[in-house]
A and B are shown apart, each in its own frame.
Chain A
Amino acid sequence: MLGLGMAEEQAELSFDQRLAALRETKLRQTREKQEALRVMDQDDHGRIMPPKELQDLTEYMGPSGEMVRDAKLNNFKPKSNHPSSGFFGAKACGENFRLFLEAHPVYIDPMSSMAGGYMAYFMGYRNPGWPPELDYPSLAEEQRKYGIYAGIGAPQHFCQDMVIGFELGWGGLLKKIQRYRKVNPKSADFYDGLEQVIIGTRDWMRRHVEAARRMAAEEKNPTLRRNLLEMAEINERLLTKPPRTFREACQWSVWYQMIARMYNGSGSMGAVDVWLKPLYDWESAAGTLSDEEAIFHLACLLLNDTQYFQLGGPDAEGRDTTNRLSFLVLEAVHRLKAPANIGVRVFDGLDPELLKRSVEIMFEDKTGFPKFLGDKGLVEGFARNGYSVKLARERIYSGCHWFAIPGREYTLNDCVKINFATVFDVAFWDMMNNTKIKPSVDELWRSFERHLHRAVEVTKEGLDFQMKHMHEVFPELVLDLLCYGTIEKGLDATNGGLEYYNLCIDGSGLATVADSFAAAEQRVEKEKRLTWSQLAESMKNDYKDAENMRLMLSSIPRYGRGGTRADEWAVRVVQAFVRFAKEKPTPAGFNIIPGLFSWASMISMGQTVGATPNGRHAGAPISHGASPDPGFLRGGNAPTAMAVAVASVQCGYGNTAPLQLDMDPGLASGEEGLAKVEALIRGHFELGGTMINMNVVDRKQVLEAHKDPSKYPNLIVRVTGFSAYFASLSKNLRQLVVDRILAEET
């Protein structure tokens, strides 16, 4: 199995050797995924392919507008509790998840110190995903009109607190459920669901215990035999008891992160260097854990899945949480050279070594890792909602572009988006088709403002709908286990179980709209190079036979350059958006936090938007989040210009408008170069920036890989909030990454 000769079979293996073998396996599994699934426009999850005989391949439309495949387990069929043939509610979801776990194969790599590997997504079996009787036709119509991703039916996107799991273990959690079941008899259905999740998980774990023992009996290599026996022993213990060693805590996290991911896609883990620290400190003081071993366990944890982690940053009192473990996590990812989603929280008190080492690794590994988080903008912003600074510091990085207070806050981050470009489209034609008004930039702005206002209101109404019904559709059974209040009150996190509710609304396509306003203002109104009706006519015809006009419109000084009218329009659009988001909570009273982000949806969001006055063709992608359009600045110093521009459009309430930078590897050569990159990071955060996603790309390599991705199966790029294997992306999404790189080259 290991391809070792007889002599090597008997030799002890070092952690390095085992990690090298694990890396090889990961690459092989990624290739298998790429071949079977073709396209994966999302994070490269740690998911591995089920055995061929259990695979059931299905296709669906991905976010970038290409068909995407998924592999399901063919030995699991959910039990319906509804005429639509779907299954809804806590008990049915919990029972079906338990059946799913029963059908799920065992996976043990004897090289790894962690048992388990996941092969399918439970939520993919939810069909329909929403009960037909809970229809919302009037809402849906306006949501479509304004290009709103309403988030209705969207799961997870908040963060549990791992500490609860470490304290109780599965046994303690079961007892807690049984205790509160008596306090809240009306919530029996909910408690049943939670119990089923734990029962299913423990059954799955137990099968691993048995498999590890069987494998150990046959294993010739002494290191691996020992590893398998320890694995069996550890997991047998973890069936009921909380973890008591570092390795056990990592193993417990592996089980939890797998069920969270499989159940509804959750990838939030939070401050790993904080919640693993007590056991690390205790064991390293006792001399039972070397740093090399700790790095190895961390690497195995990270290989299991690409979860979101924060490193460093202030604790509630403002003291830096950076510790030895923060560096070990960095080192583990550095040695893995696989995609990882780790953010370093930069603030004045941060250990400068952590930032320095992070930047070094970013340029050395070129895997888009880690990303950087701007504490000042985040904390000051969140406090503006009326919360204390202490609480704001406890809001931890735990998803693509977002933060949540572990175990205490429901956010629905990254699920709710308003496409500014669609709103502009509606506003523009509303003005042109109204014969009573004379078109002008002022009229256009008034129309845009009116429609944006309505779009935000509709989004708020949609959020109330989600909050009213989600728990009876697809409750958060896995995240609920590790939250404060859910079990105690007998209420799902979407149903009032938690302490804080701050729902996210992101705006998308800012540059498309800002440049469109500026182009119309300059070319139509100021220079009178064309009339409103000529502009409208050309847009209607998608600039057919009007390439000169299109180029004239697109060549105005654009958002991002700094000090231009387009820059001012961008700020104005964001200010209006924030004003509408914050003027009042949702009708049911939920606080809203605005941000700017489009995830990887620039392509699908653009498909429904007609030609725009910035020279963008109908159906072309919209601009990414808060970013200027690629090519906004010819020559000049694009990274600092972008850093200033994106800082100027922050929404200011603690959610992010990330800065996306693609850097040339040559930029940070030597100490001096690295110091400059650090200055860029600190500078952006000083200006109020909230997050930096940096991609260090060898342009030549990416361009070659675009021609033939199969030649570079290991090339990792940061797409947006996440990093992924370039070869796994759809052609459309690869093209966007390439366009961004080419634009910055000139």
Chain B
Amino acid sequence: MLVGREMTVDEVVREVMRDKVFYDESGGGVTLSGGDPAVQHDFSRALLRRFKVEGLHTAIETAANLQWHILASLLPVTDLVMMDIKLVDSEKHRRATGSSNENILKNAVRLSKTGKPLIIRVPVIPGVNDMADEIAAIAKFVQGFPNLWYLELLPFHRLGEGKYEALGLKYAASSLTAPTKEKMKELADAAGKFGVKVRGY
């Protein structure tokens, strides 16, 4: 391994439980993010189960581009799901990410029927989805989800650039700049028209 270290479920739990008092004081909990915790779902499931036993609030961040039964198997030990939707249009999605969004959207609809608290997050990327109609399309898609807490717009940032540089990789997004506050406001307004609660910057 280049970086990081391998850990067992026990080790992670021990590490996390050291800070339990701070979760209690802040009303916080544990979020498995990634990458995508659904990729190592056996480990994630075991870990989340242990957290539930310890009485912690649990959340996962996922792109949901996987077989439903895997995602479904994490839900009994998950209190909150945060899921990405980048675009509704399948063709544009393919062009931007290299794969279709068909499965993602299907999983989103399935998640909407589980009753599990859900946050839909949209990374706002210049030239890809920073247009009012693209964001509106996402808002329209999720507006009927009964378990939706809110739609969150996350502005593109360049924090990863240094990491690419350190690894000697080309930073493909080097020409992009973060969307302005005004832009984000405009997009949030576009989504808000569909009666969806929007959080953004």
For residue A676, CB closer than 8 A to chain B, the reply is yes
CB within 8 Å of A: which B1-56 residues: 14-15, 18-19, 21-22, 24-28
Does the CB pair B28–A679 fall under 8 Å? yes
Query: Which of A36-44, A373-381, A572-580, A681-689 makes up part of the contact surface?
Result: A681-689
Complex-state Cα separation, A640 to B21, whole angstroms: 10
Contact with B along A553-586 (1 / 0, CB 8 A): 0000000001100000000000000000000000
Does the CB pair A562–B18 fall under 8 Å? yes
Does the CB pair A675–B26 fall under 8 Å? yes
Q: How far is the CB of B178 from chain A (nearest CB, A)?
A: 15
Does the CB pair B25–A679 fall under 8 Å? yes
Contact with B along A530-574 (1 / 0, CB 8 A): 000000000000000000000000000000001100000000000
Q: Which of A679, A682, A686 has the most CB of B within 10 A?
A: A679
Complex-state Cα separation, A686 to B21, whole angstroms: 7
Complex-state Cα separation, A30 to B94, whole angstroms: 63
- Sample 12 A-B pairs with CB under 8 A, ordered by A number: A641-B18, A644-B19, A675-B26, A676-B26, A678-B25, A680-B22, A680-B26, A682-B25, A683-B19, A683-B21, A683-B24, A686-B24
Complex-state Cα separation, A675 to B25, whole angstroms: 9
Does the CB pair A686–B25 fall under 8 Å? yes
Q: How far is the CB of B181 from chain A (nearest CB, A)?
A: 14
Neighbouring A residues of B27 by C-beta, 8 Å:
679
Neighbouring A residues of B28 by C-beta, 8 Å:
676, 679
With CB as the reference atom, state the residue of chain B lying closest to A686: B21
Contact with A along B99-130 (1 / 0, CB 8 A): 00000000000000000000000000000000
Q: How far is the CB of A637 from chain B (nearest CB, A)?
A: 7
Complex-state Cα separation, A643 to B25, whole angstroms: 13
Does the CB pair A637–B19 fall under 8 Å? yes
With CB as the reference atom, state the residue of chain B lying closest to A647: B21
Complex-state Cα separation, A679 to B28, whole angstroms: 10
Secondary structure call for the A interface: helix
Neighbouring B residues of A675 by C-beta, 8 Å:
26
Neighbouring A residues of B18 by C-beta, 8 Å:
562-563, 640-641, 644
Q: How far is the CB of A689 from chain B (nearest CB, A)?
A: 10
Residue from A562, A641, A687 in contact with B21 in the complex, judged by beta carbons closer than 8 Å: A687
Given contacts A563-B14, A563-B18, A683-B22, 6 further A-B pairs with CB under 8 A are A562-B18, A641-B18, A644-B19, A680-B25, A682-B25, A683-B21
Does the CB pair A679–B26 fall under 8 Å? yes
Q: Which of A683, A686, A687 has the most CB of B within 10 A?
A: A683
Neighbouring B residues of A563 by C-beta, 8 Å:
14-15, 18
Complex-state Cα separation, A640 to B17, whole angstroms: 11
Q: How far is the CB of A602 from chain B (nearest CB, A)?
A: 26
With CB as the reference atom, state the residue of chain B lying closest to A645: B18
Complex-state Cα separation, A675 to B26, whole angstroms: 7
Complex-state Cα separation, A682 to B23, whole angstroms: 11
Complex-state Cα separation, A641 to B14, whole angstroms: 13
Q: How far is the CB of B62 from chain A (nearest CB, A)?
A: 22
Q: How far is the CB of A614 from chain B (nearest CB, A)?
A: 21
Chain A to chain B: the 8 pairs with minimum beta-carbon distance, closest first: A679-B26, A679-B25, A683-B22, A683-B21, A683-B25, A682-B25, A640-B19, A562-B18
With CB as the reference atom, state the residue of chain B lying closest to A639: B22
Complex-state Cα separation, A450 to B21, whole angstroms: 36
Contact with A along B153-188 (1 / 0, CB 8 A): 000000000000000000000000000000000000
Complex-state Cα separation, A679 to B25, whole angstroms: 5
Q: How far is the CB of B17 from chain A (nearest CB, A)?
A: 10
Neighbouring B residues of A679 by C-beta, 8 Å:
22, 25-28
Complex-state Cα separation, A644 to B24, whole angstroms: 14
Neighbouring A residues of B26 by C-beta, 8 Å:
675-676, 678-680, 683
Neighbouring A residues of B21 by C-beta, 8 Å:
683, 686-687
With CB as the reference atom, state the residue of chain A lying closest to B11: A563
Complex-state Cα separation, A683 to B15, whole angstroms: 16
Complex-state Cα separation, A681 to B62, whole angstroms: 32
Neighbouring B residues of A637 by C-beta, 8 Å:
19
With CB as the reference atom, state the residue of chain B lying closest to A682: B25
Neighbouring A residues of B22 by C-beta, 8 Å:
640, 643, 679-680, 683
CB within 8 Å of B: which A618-643 residues: 637, 640-641, 643
Complex-state Cα separation, A60 to B91, whole angstroms: 76
Q: Which of B14, B25, B28 has the most CB of A within 10 A?
A: B25
Q: Which of B14, B18, B28 has the most CB of A within 10 A?
A: B18
Q: Which of B19, B22, B25, B28 has the most CB of A within 10 A?
A: B22
Complex-state Cα separation, A359 to B19, whole angstroms: 21
Complex-state Cα separation, A663 to B25, whole angstroms: 19
Complex-state Cα separation, A562 to B15, whole angstroms: 7
Q: How far is the CB of A684 from chain B (nearest CB, A)?
A: 8
Neighbouring B residues of A676 by C-beta, 8 Å:
26, 28
With CB as the reference atom, state the residue of chain A lying closest to B3: A635
With CB as the reference atom, state the residue of chain A lying closest to B21: A683
CB within 8 Å of B: which A28-52 residues: none
With CB as the reference atom, state the residue of chain B lying closest to A681: B25
Q: How far is the CB of A320 from chain B (nearest CB, A)?
A: 19
Complex-state Cα separation, A682 to B25, whole angstroms: 7
Neighbouring B residues of A680 by C-beta, 8 Å:
22, 25-26
With CB as the reference atom, state the residue of chain B lying closest to A634: B3
Q: How far is the CB of A551 from chain B (nearest CB, A)?
A: 18
Neighbouring B residues of A687 by C-beta, 8 Å:
21
Complex-state Cα separation, A351 to B15, whole angstroms: 33
Q: How far is the CB of B24 from chain A (nearest CB, A)?
A: 7
